Amino acid sequence: MLTLERLRLTREDFALDADLAIPQGARVAILGPSGAGKSTLLAAIGGFLSPRSGRILWDGKDITGAEPAARPVATIFQDNNLFPHLTALRNVALGLDPTGRLSATTRDRALAALRDVGLDGFADRKPGALSGGQQSRVTLARAMLQDKPILLLDEPFSALGPAMKAEMIDLVLRVAEERGLTVLMISHDPADALRLGGLSLVVADGVAHPPRPTTELMDDPPPALRDYLAR
């Protein structure tokens, strides 16, 4: 269980409140208008923003002040997910060993992860020589090796075409299924939320509302979401 306990997040002229819980293994789409604070919420969970007040708990353990790398969280960002000067293999291997050493075991596991996401034979390419979809797969392979129970995705697939994006979400679902991950994914597209299944969390008007089943939410959207969806 990921608990956001009376969390208050502030940036210069902006505040967001969250008081909610996400069950372990849930798959949560985060919806809401631009600028509402979706990324701010993920940044706080990922450890990149200290909350003004409140606590973040995982399985009852307070992680509010923990370093990003010490949290039970792997994050896939909107961009800059890969180091352009390192090969796919080395990028993935960083998920296992952040000192950058490439031991035989690390290498084997990284290669296996690449194979798992369908990138057999791409290990020695640098990101510049990979397509957008392939880059997303490399990132996902690394997140798998980080072996964290929570996976945060900050619109990482927004630059991909619809078919490719669907394919990536399915891959995320497969990985999450296999490992029992809790997934939080920001999206602009209700179709993504529906594809992800599970819950949706609406961020609007300075509040992150507790998650509700996505289908239920789409059938009867609250006012903020209704405006956003233009229904």
Partner 1 sequence: MKQPLTLAGIAAGALVVLLILGSVVAVALRAERGAGLGAADWAALRFTLWQAALSAVFSVALAIPVARALARRRFRGRGLLITLLGAPFILPVIVAVLGLIMVFGRAGLLNDGLAALGLPAVSIYGAWGVLLAHVFFNLPLATRMILQGWVDIPAERFRLAAALGMGPAAQFRLIELPMLARVVPGAALVVFLICTTSFAVALTLGGGPRATTIELAIYQAFRFDFDLGRAALLALLQLGVTLAAALVALRVAAPEAMGAGLDRPVQRWGLPGPVVDTLAITLATLFLVLPMVALAARGLPHLANMPPEVWAAAWRSVVVALGSAVLTIALALPLAVAVGRLRPRAARGLEVAGMLGIAASPLVIGTGLFIVSYPFIAPDRLALPVTALVNAVMALPFALRLLVPAVARVESDYGRLAASLGLSGFAWLRLVLLPRITRPLGFATGLAAALSMGDLGVVALFADAEAATLPLQMYRLMGAYRMQDAAAAALLLLALSLAAFWIFDRGGRADADA
| 79 or 177: CB nearest partner 1 | 79
| CA–centroid distance for 222 within its chain | 24
Residue 198 makes contact with partner 1 by CB under 8 A:
no
State the minimum distance, in angstroms, from the CB of residue 162 to partner 1.
25
Q: Contact region for partner 1 (CB under 8 A) — 20-28, 31-39, 94-102, 111-119?
A: 94-102
46 binds partner 1 (CB under 8 A): yes
Instruction: Give which of 200, 140, 188 is closest to 167, Cα–Cα.
Output: 140
**If residue 112 lies in a helix (H) or strand (E), which one and from where to where?**
helix 104-116
Find the shortest distance in angstroms from Cβ 213 to partner 1: 29
Instruction: Give the integer Cα–Cα distance in Å for 159 and 133.
Output: 9
Q: With 0-12 CB in 10 A as exposed, 13-18 as middle and 19+ as buried, what is 78?
A: middle
Footprint on residues 112-141 left by partner 1 (CB under 8 A): 126, 128
- Which residue of 99, 104, 163, 230 would you call a contact of partner 1, by CB under 8 A? 99
Among 14, 23, 48, 206, binds partner 1 (CB under 8 A): 48
Distance from C-alpha of 208 to C-alpha of 6, rounded to nearest angstrom: 11
Joined together, the tokens standing for residue 21 give 């819980």
Site for partner 1 (CB under 8 A): which residue of 20, 57, 66, 86? 86
How far from 30 is each of 56, 177, 185, CA to CA, in Å? 17, 19, 6
12 contributes a contact to partner 1 by CB under 8 A? no
Q: Spell out the residues 6+ positions from residue 29 whose beta carbon is closer than 8 angstroms to its own.
A: 185, 186, 187, 192, 193, 196, 198, 199, 200, 201, 214
Residues 56-75 that bind partner 1 (CB under 8 A): 67-70, 73-75
- The nearest distance, CB 68 to partner 1, in angstroms, is 4
Q: Does 212 sit near partner 1 (CB under 8 A)?
A: no
Q: In the complex, which residues of this chain contact partner 1 (CB under 8 A)?
A: 46-48, 67-70, 73-75, 77, 80-81, 83-86, 94-95, 98-100, 126, 128, 142, 146
